[in-house]
Amino acid sequence: MSALLEIDNLRVMFRRPGLVRRPPPFVAVDDVTLRLGAGETLGVVGESGSGKTTVARAVLRLLRPESGSVRFDGHDVTEFGRVPKWYRRRVQSIFQDPTTSLNPSWTVRDIVGEPIRVHENVGRRELVLRVGELLEQVGLDPATDQRRPADFSGGQRQRIGIARALATRPELIVCDEPVSALDVSTQSTVVNLLNRIQRETGVSYLFIGHDLTLMRHVSDRIAVMYRGRLVEEGPAEDIYRDHAHPYTRMLLDAAPTLDPEEQARRRRRRADSVTAAVMTESSQGCSFAPRCPSAIERCLTEVPASRPRAGGSVGCHLAPTLPQTNSRSLTSSSHS
Ligand code: SF4
């Protein structure tokens, strides 16, 4: 059975303006292939500039890729001239900042009811009922539907955004860092809400984020991106516990911890990483080499191919034998 969302060899380039000579185009996403099944969550994780949001924008057809395909339920999204109404109904989105993504002059009823008005022929009475049900579904009081976004907290505003996304009963919601602007306790309640909604409705999520620890709690599978390329992909628990790519390790190290031994381990890894970065100033080979504490000479000249690994894939010359500690840094290998 085919997946609900199939992304194949996606490549997105941005042309840059130049006064005298035009600089070469910037490759934001390069050769990315992903699958998302019905009722599942695929987490796409990476730092700013990794290309994860560009993937989301390609799925929403907010941009046209250079090559590759994005297929939703068998339809090639990249071939749409104008995005058809059925696609807008079946694929919805939730954005990072609920403050800017909600019209401040509209009431909650206007905001949540608008997609229903656009896609269905319903009377005022039914619209009010539907909006009330949606607000209840996301844990808001239906009696607040005549208030405006400014009357709500950040977490409540994100709930309004979720209610709006659910209004058309979509099969896929693209969640672009939906909890990044919220405080930690509000993040977990919104994540729990999204998980509950998925159990109740069977909706799929393409979940974009930078916090691998959080992504583990929402995702069935996780794809790790670095500078436009997929570096590791697999079942969420495997990526969290048994990852093979040094960048995945680095993302996990970025998550806060109160364990002093773990803090010391991370300090040592960071120090090794700085040493490697100084020694590997090169644009050839693996794009992660300048930051990689495990880099060897080969990494400077040869781009690692993606290879299968335990239900997923990884793009690293040292995988799957990569040690969890940094015993094979460039510093030591170049002297061996
Ligand atoms: Fe590090 Fe080399 Fe693996 Fe790239 S290929 S992640 S530089 S060890």
The pLDDT tens digits of the residues spanning 238-256 come to 999 889 999 999 998 877 6
Both 84 and 222 in one domain: the answer is yes
Global confidence as pTM:
0.87
Question: 134: Cβ–Cβ under 8 A, 6 or more apart, which residues?
Answer: 112, 163, 164, 166, 167
Both 100 and 185 in one domain: the answer is yes
Both 227 and 292 in one domain: the answer is no
Quick one: 199 exposed, middle or buried, by C-beta within 10 A (0-12, 13-18, 19+)?
A: exposed
pLDDT for 16 equals 74
Mutate which of 249, 317, 324 for ligand 1 pocket (most atoms within 8 A of beta carbon): 317
> Which ligand 1 atom is the nearest neighbour of the CA of 317?
5
Does residue 334 lie within any of the structural domains? no
Please give the distance, rounded to the nearest whole angstrom, from the Cα atom of residue 315 to the centre of ligand 1.
Answer: 8
Please give the distance, rounded to the nearest whole angstrom, from the Cα atom of residue 161 to the centre of ligand 1.
Answer: 40
* Single residue among 231, 257, 273 that ends a domain in this structure: 231
Closest-CA residue, ligand 1 atom 3, reads: 316
> Which ligand 1 atom is the nearest neighbour of the CA of 245?
6
- What band does 275 get if pLDDT is binned at 50, 70 and 90? very low
Give the mean model confidence (pLDDT) for residues 71-95.
95
> Which ligand 1 atom is the nearest neighbour of the CA of 246?
6
Quick one: 201 exposed, middle or buried, by C-beta within 10 A (0-12, 13-18, 19+)?
A: middle
- What band does 328 get if pLDDT is binned at 50, 70 and 90? very low
Q: How many CB atoms lie within 10 A of CB 215?
A: 25
Both 176 and 301 in one domain: the answer is no
Q: How many CB atoms lie within 10 A of CB 147?
A: 16
Both 251 and 218 in one domain: the answer is no
Both 159 and 181 in one domain: the answer is yes
Which domain CATH number covers 128?
3.40.50.300
Please give the distance, rounded to the nearest whole angstrom, from the Cα atom of residue 49 to the centre of ligand 1.
Answer: 19
Closest-CA residue, ligand 1 atom 5, reads: 316
pLDDT at 141 over 90: yes
Please give the distance, rounded to the nearest whole angstrom, from the Cα atom of residue 290 to the centre of ligand 1.
Answer: 9
Closest-CA residue, ligand 1 atom 6, reads: 316
pLDDT for 326 equals 42
> Which ligand 1 atom is the nearest neighbour of the CA of 287?
4
- What band does 329 get if pLDDT is binned at 50, 70 and 90? very low
Does residue 224 lie within any of the structural domains? yes
Question: 206: Cβ–Cβ under 8 A, 6 or more apart, which residues?
Answer: 5, 36, 41, 42, 44, 56, 59, 172, 173, 174, 175
Q: In the chain, what percentage of residues exceed pLDDT 90?
A: 71
Give the mean model confidence (pLDDT) for residues 121-144.
96
Both 262 and 212 in one domain: the answer is no
Please give the distance, rounded to the nearest whole angstrom, from the Cα atom of residue 90 to the centre of ligand 1.
Answer: 39
Both 146 and 208 in one domain: the answer is yes
Does residue 175 lie within any of the structural domains? yes
Please give the distance, rounded to the nearest whole angstrom, from the Cα atom of residue 59 to the centre of ligand 1.
Answer: 29
Q: Which residues line ligand 1 (CB under 6 A)?
A: 245-246, 286, 288-289, 292, 294-295, 299, 304, 316-318
Both 138 and 283 in one domain: the answer is no
Q: In the chain, what percentage of residues exceed pLDDT 70?
A: 86
pLDDT at 20 over 80: no
pLDDT for 209 equals 94
Does residue 329 lie within any of the structural domains? no
> Which ligand 1 atom is the nearest neighbour of the CA of 296?
2
Domain that holds residue 258: 242-306+317-324
pLDDT at 77 over 50: yes
Closest-CA residue, ligand 1 atom 8, reads: 295
> Which ligand 1 atom is the nearest neighbour of the CA of 231?
6
Does residue 331 lie within any of the structural domains? no
* Single residue among 199, 231, 263 that ends a domain in this structure: 231
* Single residue among 208, 231, 254 that ends a domain in this structure: 231
CA distance 302 to 316: 10
> Which ligand 1 atom is the nearest neighbour of the CA of 319?
3
CA distance 181 to 158: 10
Does residue 11 lie within any of the structural domains? yes
Please give the distance, rounded to the nearest whole angstrom, from the Cα atom of residue 296 to the centre of ligand 1.
Answer: 7
Please give the distance, rounded to the nearest whole angstrom, from the Cα atom of residue 286 to the centre of ligand 1.
Answer: 6
Q: Where is 193: in which H helix or E strand?
A: helix 184-201
Both 208 and 297 in one domain: the answer is no
pLDDT for 301 equals 93
Closest-CA residue, ligand 1 atom 7, reads: 289
- Domain tally, the chain: 2
Please give the distance, rounded to the nearest whole angstrom, from the Cα atom of residue 219 to the centre of ligand 1.
Answer: 25
Does residue 69 lie within any of the structural domains? yes
Mean pLDDT of the chain: 87
Does residue 220 lie within any of the structural domains? yes
Q: What is the pLDDT of residues 146-187, one digit of tens each?
A: 999 999 999 999 999 999 999 999 999 999 999 988 888 889
Q: What is the pLDDT of residues 183-230, one digit of tens each?
A: 888 899 999 999 999 999 999 999 999 999 899 999 999 999 999 999
Both 96 and 32 in one domain: the answer is yes
Distance of CA 88 to the CA centre of its chain: 20
Both 263 and 120 in one domain: the answer is no
